[in-house]
Amino acid sequence: MINWRRNLTVAWIAQLVCILGFNSVWAFLPFYLQEMGVSDLDHVKLWTGWITTGGSVSMAIFAPIWGSLADRYGRKIMVVRAALGGTVIMALMAFATTPAQFLILRIIQGTLTGTVSAFTTLVAACTPRGKEGFSLGMMQVAVYSGSSAGPLMGGFLADAFGYRTTFLVSSVILLIGGLLTVLLFQESFVPATRKRVSVWQSTKEMTRDSNILSMVIVILALYTTGSIVSPILPIFVQSLTSDQARLATITGSITGVTALVSAVSAAIAGRLADRIGHERILVAACVGAAIAYLPMTLVQTPMQLLALNVLVGVFIGGLMPTTNALIALRVPREKQGATYGLMASSGAAGRAIGPMIGSGIAVGLGNRALFPVATAMYGVLSVAMALQFRKTGASHAQAEPADERERP
């Protein structure tokens, strides 16, 4: 008999390892572009935006396809596909010599990868009712923990051994994450018996469901808002410090500590949301993020930026566990692969839109203009969600026997 808690532990470790691999390189992307010969900082900002957007656009296109295939052929194989695809592309990125080459590889990476949505679907399918907030909250802890340790490790490796070596190390780490899933995760997959439909038709059917459509919009807005600042953050850090020799380490530390705080917040938010309602936590987290971003306009040192980023991390950590749990509560299990694929597509679209908005604002109005924009967007989003949730009512998990998802 399959033990869902054991599977959760395996998935948690594998997700942590994969995110560690992915996030050990992105904190210093603008510096890697400068090493390639892009000397104008405005051009660095634009290339950073294009590269981030390129991968997100391709992921937005392919995520629903992978999600639909997960419902047909199994969720575990989709995790392995994402991890091994990332392994190959990360290794190739170490040998890119121009921003254009890197952009092409980033687009291919977006096509092949997507471990977060793959693991989310896998874990949601084997978690008992009433435990979604806990399980998916813990998976978000893995994401944030990997996002925390990744930049710290990557910043040290980049300053000590160079950016290209860091990409190769990341490739090996992703391979380990894929192998952990292959060898240790036990999946008992039963394909849906309903008539198969095309990905396009399945997407149309899902978007006719008001519950799913509302979550698509929420995730699009959350990821758009959340990715406005992050691609430009390394350049902003560069403007705050004269210690250029440790630039990657400083940037990685700021990003990593923020993600670590988010990991703790995600664990607490997941448990709390199971008790008082996921909608309440989601709205409160958006309000808190809106408040936390505004003072960043005034920072003068990396330490001040770090302190405010920690505050942002407290609130950001509560967003995705509650969102994923709401989806798990509202969608039948046999459709969860396609649904999480659609949500991944929506999130990727947000990550495509946000960096382009952010890089445009940074070039046109300056880096500091990004923070009040983020405040305004989180504020509007919190009001819109509060009004929507008041109409639809709160979602509460209905308990079911724990062994229902522990099928042999």
Mean pLDDT value across residues 71-100: 95
Q: Range with the lowest mean pLDDT among 43-57, 85-99, 387-401?
A: 387-401
For tokens 């950590």, what's the residue? 317
* Structure token digits, residue 215: 């979550």
Mean of pLDDT values over 243-267: 86
| pLDDT given at position 68 | 84
Sorted by sequence, the CB contacts under 8 Å of residue 351 that are 6+ apart come out as: 52, 53, 55, 56, 59, 223, 224, 227
Cα–Cα distance, 152 to 248 (Å, whole number): 9
pLDDT of 296 above 70: yes
Q: Do 60 and 346 meet the contact criterion of CB atoms below 8 Å apart?
A: yes
For the segment 325-340, the average pLDDT, to the nearest whole number, is 78
Question: What is the three-state SS of 44-70?
Answer: HHHHHHHHHHHHHHHHHHHHHHHHHHH
Instruction: For 141-195, write each residue's pLDDT tens digit.
Output: 898 889 888 988 998 899 899 999 999 999 999 999 999 999 999 888 777 666 6
pTM of the model: 0.75
What is the C-alpha separation between 55 and 66, in angstroms, rounded?
Answer: 16
Instruction: Name residue, tokens 């944030």.
Output: 144
Which pLDDT score is estimated for 400?
40
Rounded average pLDDT over 61-89 = 91
Q: What is the spatial distance between Cα 91 and Cα 89, in angstroms, rounded to a whole number? A: 5
Averaged pLDDT score across all residues of the chain = 87
**Amino acid making up residue 86:** G
Apex 63 CA angle, 61 and 66, nearest 5? 120
Domain locations in the chain as residue ranges: 4-185+200-396
The two tokens of residue 295 are 């003072």
Amino acid at 145: S
pLDDT digits (tens, 9 = 90+) for 376-406: 999 999 999 998 888 766 554 443 433 444 4
pLDDT above 80: residue 214: yes
What is the CATH architecture assignment of 4-185+200-396? Up-down Bundle (1.20)
Structure confidence at residue 271 (pLDDT): 80
Distance CA 211, CA 184 (A): 34
Give which of 242, 192, 211 is closest to 329, Cα–Cα.
211
Position of tokens 């904190």?
A: 27
Q: Is the pLDDT of residue 101 over 90?
A: yes
- pLDDT given at position 393: 61
Write out pLDDT tens, residues 2-16: 788 999 999 999 999
**CA–CA–CA angle 123, 129, 135 (5° rounding):** 35
Residue 243, phi then psi, degrees to nearest 5: -85, 75
Q: How many helices, marked H, and strands, marked E, lie in the chain?
A: 17, 0
**What is the amino acid identity at position 323?**
T
Q: Round to whole Å and give the CA distance between 203 and 71.
A: 13
Which pair of tokens denotes residue 192?
A: 């849906």
- Cα(67)–Cα(78) distance, integer angstroms: 8
